[in-house]
Chain A
Amino acid sequence: MGVGLKGLSKPEIELMESESKVPGLWTLEKAVGFIFRWARKNSLWPLQFGTACCAIEMMATAAGRYDIARFGAEVFRPSPRQADLIIAAGTITEKMGYALKRLYEQMPKPSWVIAMGSCTIAGGPYYYDSYTVVKGIDSFVPVDVYVPGCPPRPESLLHGLMAIQKKIEDEPIFRRRRNT
């Protein structure tokens, strides 16, 4: 895939052309931003973080049939310092919540979070009567994309990953996130 105008929407190209004096020539900022976004979205390195059932589906996504490598996200890193995407796969209990928060804070910014499965979104089947499960990880970690299901199919996770890529395309390259 070459670097071209492919990643940009039509109004964006028109805007660029109107801003520069010469038609078709990019401003430096736009060009740098385009390269940054292109590189970021095609090399998301997820953290190897699976807690429960969804982790098995995450493994299935990484394996042959669904092959997350097609989206450039097959490099599951064991260390948060090398990763820029947490796929929070599986139930997060209160005891684990502290670890998740610390893992998120250890990741270099910009970083993204996918809440995979009902448990991480809102507690899922453990919403009622469970005294340990966190009712939604978005209470302490900023979540970018929610992938519902119990567990979600690998296709859903890939769709979530593509949603992250779309989000990267749309946001400024110097992204400031609120501190949680």
Chain B
Amino acid sequence: MTDLLLSQIKPGGESPFGTDEYVVNMGPQHPATHGVLRLVVKLDGETVKETMPVLGYLHRSIEKICENRTYPQCITYTDRVDYVSAMSVNLAFALATERLMGLEAPPRAQWLRMIFVELQRLASHLLWMGAFAGDIGALTPFLYGLRERERILDLFEMTCGQRLTYNYIRIGGVMIDILPEFVPKCRAFLDYFDPKIPEYEELLTYNPIFLERTKGVGVITPEVGINCGVCGPSLRGSGVSCDVRKQHPYLFYDQVKFNECLENDGDCWARYKVRMNEMRESVSIIRQCLDRLEPGPIETKLPPILKAPPASEIYFRIESSRGEMGIYLVGDGTPKPYKAKFRCASFSNTFVLDQLTRGWKVADIMAVLGSLDMIVPEVDR
């Protein structure tokens, strides 16, 4: 029987076997999906015809929980929305609540927040670099990236005692003042870190294998990017100016000098390049913040019970490490939010995946997925 069938195959001719789409299930336990994202991929041979993300494997109902917690208690849960960049979400929630209640943190707290959020951006991009390079087969940058990340975590640990979920940025200020030795240690770290960025670039940027895997792969055109709601470094790789820090400055971002990093190609390599340049900008921002840090109070006097005004709502957004992080809060005159909605960058970035991978090979899904820098709990919340 087998011989008969095999004898019918003529070289260059049509196969006697029926051809059909091949559906591959990637995840939820898959080494390269950054957590528990599940992708259902329709294949024609090795060419991708359709990619469907299936969500919900890490839906922890954080938004619902926040409705049953007071505003300060919610900050603990914001850590876990985006654990790689926990400070950013802390900051977004704290700022949104402050706007809702008409509070403002003192200047020292604002500068401290900026320092920590930018340090967090460095840590997040370093981890991203390691994971992205690991996805496409280069394992060394992972060790390089985490080496420097541990030093940043040392600074965090010295200040607030946690390595990952800090709960440091609070409503009306920060949790605790920095130690006297923080500033010299932070400066020493920045001096140490500055020459490390060229080292990473030497490893990856013009590496021929890396270029083959990323150059021209998964191009987001500005139209597609804007229509799909892509934001953050992923959209800046397409040359669209979308940095919230520049366009709607919060904290003291209007008082420091930094450039918005833009690339024009829109492919994986451009997104990589944007993030590498952002690390340089972050270092410069932290240096300026440390220069302008002055002694003073670190938190405002808060009422004993924080209550939002009745029938009040606010949408506040910041630039997190992954893009636009928005918090929508509805207050109803009680100490608990009536509704808390997290607008996360990863969620909108995930759904451009289908358009980017169509017509590419299976292995390119990993490169595109990695370059979008998505974190699954941010998608599922």
Contact = CB atoms under 8 A, between A and B. Distances in A.
A54 to B, nearest CB: 9
Contacts of B377: 52-53
Interface stretch (A15-23, A59-67, A159-167): A59-67
Nearest to B84: A56
Interface in B55-76: 56-61, 64-65, 68, 76
Interface in A131-158: 131-133, 150-151, 153
A126 B380 CA distance: 15
B130 to A, nearest CB: 8
Contact of B35 (A51, A125, A130): A51
Given A53-B80, A78-B31, A95 B59 contact: yes
B85 to A, nearest CB: 11
A9 B56 CA distance: 48
Contacts of A96: 28, 36, 57-58
Contacts of B58: 51-52, 90-91, 93, 96
Interface in B157-205: 163-165
Interface stretch (B139-147, B251-259, B274-282, B326-334): B139-147
A99 B149 CA distance: 31
B143 to A, nearest CB: 5
A131 B62 CA distance: 10
A53 B376 CA distance: 10
Nearest to A153: B163
Nearest to A48: B31
Contacts of A153: 163
B127 interface: yes
A78 B27 CA distance: 11
A19 B230 CA distance: 72
Contact of A91 (B60, B143, B147): B60
Interface residues of B, number: 33
Nearest to B147: A64
Contacts of B59: 93, 95, 132
Nearest to B73: A125
A132 B62 CA distance: 10
Given A53-B83, A65-B147, A126 B28 contact: no
Interface of A: 47-53, 55-57, 59-60, 63-65, 76, 78, 80, 90-91, 93, 95-96, 99, 103, 125-126, 128-133, 150-151, 153
Given A52-B35, A151-B165, 14 more contacts: A51-B58, A52-B58, A52-B60, A56-B164, A63-B143, A64-B143, A64-B146, A76-B31, A80-B29, A99-B29, A126-B61, A129-B68, A130-B64, A130-B65
B166 to A, nearest CB: 12
B61 A131 contact: yes
Contacts of B61: 126, 129-133
Given A63-B146, A132-B59, A133-B60, A53 B65 contact: no
B116 interface: no
A125 B147 contact: no
B35 A55 contact: yes
B163 A57 contact: yes
B64 A131 contact: yes
B179 to A, nearest CB: 20
Contacts of A47: 29
A63 B36 contact: no
Nearest to B82: A53
A175 to B, nearest CB: 24
Interface in B351-381: 376-377
B77 interface: yes
**Closest A-B pairs by Cβ, 7 of them:** A63-B146, A78-B31, A53-B83, A96-B57, A129-B65, A130-B61, A129-B68
21 contacts: A47-B29, A51-B36, A51-B376, A52-B35, A53-B164, A55-B35, A59-B127, A63-B150, A65-B147, A76-B31, A90-B35, A90-B58, A91-B58, A93-B60, A99-B36, A125-B77, A129-B64, A129-B68, A131-B61, A131-B64, A153-B163
Nearest to A55: B35
Contacts of B30: 78
Given A52-B80, A95-B59, A63 B147 contact: yes
Given A52-B80, A52-B377, A96-B58, A60 B65 contact: no
Interface in B87-113: none
Contacts of A129: 61, 64-65, 68
B35 A150 contact: no
Contact of A125 (B64, B80, B153): B80
B65 A93 contact: no
Nearest to B134: A59
A53 B56 CA distance: 16
